[in-house]
Amino acid sequence: MRITPSILNTDFTRLGEAIASIESADAVHIDVMDNHFVPNLTIGLPVVSSIRAATTHMLDIHLMIEDPDQWAPGYAEAGAESVTFHVEAAKAPVRLARELRRLGARVGIGLNPATPVEAVAQILPEVDSVLVMSVEPGFGGQGFLDLVLPKVTQLRRLISQSGLSIWLQMDGGVSMETIERCVQAGADTFVAGSAVFRSDDPDRMVQSLRRAAESTAASRDQVFATTDSNGDGGDPPR
Ligand code: DX5
Ligand code: ZN
């Protein structure tokens, strides 16, 4: 279970302090928005390069931009360990995924809430993570959309069947109230923005979220172990 806090809703004049306050995080999730793919404009490559120089944390770049085919490789070249682009935006996702891997980055593919699993099913071997949006992309602090949970379970099944080691990440509205539902559905990696940075102690919240995810996963896996007839570890419940 991985917790990757989003810095979207932090004070951008004090980014270094925000990043330093989440020591236990598995990665820093950085939301890049271009005011075209989403109706918001955030930060881009120069700021990501500054962040790269300021932290040894894994950088998890989430590109909510048009034409990632052109822009995504620059983030891998800047030293980001993971670069996620949206399937709705990429013109040639396989070519882009291969280019990112060639540059040494993990490749993530993102899906908006209304985008079906079929949009990424064929290209799973080309990616290292799948990011399911549980809000419409563009802003932090929105309410969690339960309607994406069946898609997460479908993806978990596909990933298990494929034998690939792919992280299944959820992004949007993840909090102590919603993370258990995400784990039950099959997710293993969690972006949390406002839940972490609006708490009094961001690092403690990261640890609490991870503990909640791990204990839910432990009971989920126990149920699968007792009901699993074919010995493959079972699937999450429908
Ligand atoms: C939304 C971003 C998310 C967002 C998460 O478009 O991709 O990463 O910052 O923030 P919360 O956890 O507040 O929904
Ligand atoms: Zn994000």
Q: At residue 219, what is the residue type?
A: S
Q: For residue range 119-145, what is the model confidence (pLDDT) as tens digits?
A: 999 999 999 999 999 999 999 999 999
How far, in Å, from the CA of 191 to the mean position of ligand 2?
7
pLDDT band, residue 225 (cuts 50/70/90): low
How far, in Å, from the CA of 216 to the mean position of ligand 2?
23
Ligand in nearest proximity to the CA of 192? 1
Mutation probe of ligand 1 site: the residue of 15, 88, 191, 196 with most atoms within 8 A of C-beta: 191
d(CA 51, CA 177): 30
Atom of ligand 1 nearest to the CA of 62: 7
Cα–Cα separations (whole angstroms), residue 170 to 80, 86, 87, 132, 228: 19, 14, 15, 5, 25
For the chain, the domains span 2-230
Say which residues have a Cβ less than 8 Å from residue 227's Cβ, sequence separation at least 6.
Answer: 234
d(CA 101, CA 73): 9
Q: At residue 147, what is the residue type?
A: L
What is the reported pLDDT for 231? 45
Q: Is 108 in the pocket of ligand 1 (CB under 6 A)?
A: no
Please state, for a pLDDT cut of 70, what percent of the chain lies above it.
Answer: 93
Longest CA–CA span in the chain (Å) reads 54
Query: pTM of the prediction?
Result: 0.94
Assess contact for 203 and 24: CB atoms under 8 A.
Answer: yes
What is the reported pLDDT for 221? 74
d(CA 165, CA 58): 18
Angle between helices 68-77 and 45-54 (to 10 degrees): 20
What is the reported pLDDT for 222? 67
pLDDT band, residue 207 (cuts 50/70/90): very high
How far, in Å, from the CA of 164 to the mean position of ligand 2?
23
Ligand in nearest proximity to the CA of 172? 1
Q: For residue range 33-87, what is the model confidence (pLDDT) as tens digits?
A: 999 999 999 999 999 999 999 999 999 999 999 999 999 999 999 999 999 999 9
- Architecture per CATH, 2-230: Alpha-Beta Barrel (3.20)
Mean pLDDT of the chain: 94
